[in-house]
Amino acid sequence: MQIMHFSNPELLWFLAAIPILVGVIYWLARSRSATISDQFGEEQLIGRFNQKISLPRLVVKSISMALCLAFLVLALSRPTADSGKTHFPMGTIDVIAVVDVSRSMAVPDYKGKLPEPYADGRRLDMAKYLLLKEVMGSLDYNRLGVVTFSGGAFPQAFLTDDLPALDWVLKRAMGVGSAPGEGSELGKAFQLAFQLFDLDSKPNHRRVVVLFSDGGNDSELSEMNAVVKELKGRDIDLVVVGLGKTTPSAIPVKLLSRTDQYTSADNGEWYQVNGEIVTSKLEENVLLLLKNATGGRYVRLIEPSDFSMTRMISRMEVKEVKGQYEFFPWLLMASLLAFLVVVVVPNDPDQDSRFFKRGGKRRRNLSIRGGPWL
């Protein structure tokens, strides 16, 4: 048995006012008709030119007007009925990617290993490629957020399952130097990731942090100990992806941000500080210490195929939601049809034949009494 529900049940009180409203309209129309008749002259003289609506037609128009208003009130009250069940796949895992965007991530250690538009092969290009192709490709209705960091942390994307929007953000808004500050403050990045979990993650969801970094870290030891404590206390799974080669490499100026390219234009091909060329390599010990302290997993990335998250974030559940059938369009259509009856039905039988003979064009009514429906 279907149960009727109303989204705006308070509007149903207006149904009680409809008979009163129709009665008031009828009284006003008759009163106005009598007043106009008196102004034209005596009833006996103008009676043969005055067409009075017949009682059956008056009843039909009155009922039609009442039904028009009643259907309109019912439509606005938004009645619905239960109609089966709808199944929605729901993710049970929330993933936050923590991505280093400092200058060292511009080293092209992966040149020739990535397709367009990542052909420069920077460490950051590899991180973006894996986020788009591997992590997002394995979500299965789970959610992903992104935190970028260098000297400070930045919430690049809050937890979401809106993959097209996230794809746009990662491709266009996440670049070398897109986070504030100088250096690589790993501790600040994790603290911001914890805040994003507190903001949007449900208590019964599994939480995963995926760190993409070359190991550079300027955070104090006390900050990192606090990060390890939080990861364990919150039961957050940690996956560490080490990017870059273990041999030092210089940072090409042309692969840095536009601001760095402009300020380093006179320093030659490689990025320099105080006249010395800056080099960077994978600081694997930092990442391994973090992995061992938390019981997480570590992947040293040489080829894109070295990293896979399909098995780890493939869980989902199916949620059943009761379906609802909306009566709004049908009630609105019924109200319109009732209104058309009020307008179209002529006031007297003689008008019926004239109405149809002239293709629906009614002759001007010379009647003093009787408006469009009375």
pLDDT in tens, 289-316: 999 999 999 999 999 999 987 655 544 4
Q: What is the DSSP string of 87-156?
A: EEEEE-EEEEEEEE-SGGGG--TTTTSS-TT-TT--HHHHHHHHIIIIIGGG-TT-EEEEEEESSSEEEE
* Residue 75 and residue 183 share a domain: no
* Residue 128 and residue 184 share a domain: yes
Between 47 and 3, the higher pLDDT residue: 3
Name the phi and psi angles at 46, rounded to 5.
Answer: -100, 0
Give the helix/strand (H/E) hosting 235.
none
Structural domain contains residue 102? yes
* Residue 332 belongs to domain spanning: 4-82+324-357
* Residue 55 and residue 178 share a domain: no
C-alpha span between 23 and 39 (Å, rounded):
25
Structure tokens at 341: 């009856």
C-alpha span between 334 and 344 (Å, rounded):
15
Strand-strand pairing, 206-213 and 297-300:
unpaired
> Which residues does residue 99 pair with via DSSP β-bridges, in sequence order?
148, 212
> Which pLDDT belongs to residue 52?
61
**pLDDT at residue 270 is higher than 70:** yes
Q: How confident is the model at residue 275 (pLDDT cuts 50, 70, 90)?
A: confident
C-alpha span between 117 and 125 (Å, rounded):
9
* Residue 260 and residue 137 share a domain: yes
Nearest to 76 by CA among 167, 7, 133: 7
Structural domain contains residue 131? yes
Lowest mean pLDDT among 39-48, 100-109, 245-254, 347-356: 347-356
**pLDDT at residue 90 is higher than 60:** no
**pLDDT at residue 172 is higher than 70:** yes
The SS3 call for residue 266 is: coil
Residue found under tokens 């399909």 = 310
- Maximum Cα–Cα distance across the chain: 116
**pLDDT at residue 261 is higher than 80:** yes
**pLDDT at residue 39 is higher than 80:** no
Structural domain contains residue 289? yes
* Residue 297 and residue 270 share a domain: yes
DSSP annotation of 295 = T
Structure tokens at 194: 């914890």
Burial string for 69-95 (b: 16+ CB within 10 Å, else e) reads bbbbbbbbbbbbeeeeeeeeeebbbbb
Q: How confident is the model at residue 278 (pLDDT cuts 50, 70, 90)?
A: very high
**pLDDT at residue 198 is higher than 60:** yes
* Residue 231 and residue 113 share a domain: yes
* Residue 142 and residue 30 share a domain: no
Structural domain contains residue 366? no
Last residue of a domain, one of 290, 314, 338: 314
Residue 346, amino acid: P
Between 171 and 45, the higher pLDDT residue: 171
Between 293 and 40, the higher pLDDT residue: 293
* pLDDT > 70 fraction of the chain, expressed in percent and rounded: 78
Total structural domains within the chain? 2
* Residue 229 and residue 341 share a domain: no
Provide the whole-model pTM.
0.62
* Residue 197 and residue 176 share a domain: yes
Structural domain contains residue 168? yes
* Residue 109 and residue 11 share a domain: no
Structural domain contains residue 236? yes
* Residue 212 and residue 261 share a domain: yes
**pLDDT at residue 56 is higher than 80:** no
> Which residues does residue 86 pair with via DSSP β-bridges, in sequence order?
321
> Which pLDDT belongs to residue 122?
96
Structural domain contains residue 302? yes
Structure tokens at 276: 């010395």
User: pLDDT averaged over the chain?
Assistant: 83
Nearest to 74 by CA among 354, 334, 343, 310: 334
Q: How confident is the model at residue 374 (pLDDT cuts 50, 70, 90)?
A: very low
Residue found under tokens 């049970």 = 92
Strand-strand pairing, 143-149 and 93-100:
parallel
**pLDDT at residue 80 is higher than 80:** yes
* pLDDT > 90 fraction of the chain, expressed in percent and rounded: 47
Structure tokens at 47: 């009676």
* Residue 333 and residue 272 share a domain: no
CATH number, domain with residue 141: 3.40.50.410
C-alpha span between 205 and 187 (Å, rounded):
24
C-alpha span between 192 and 160 (Å, rounded):
16
C-alpha span between 181 and 193 (Å, rounded):
18
| Average pLDDT of span 356-362 | 49
Structural domain contains residue 319? no
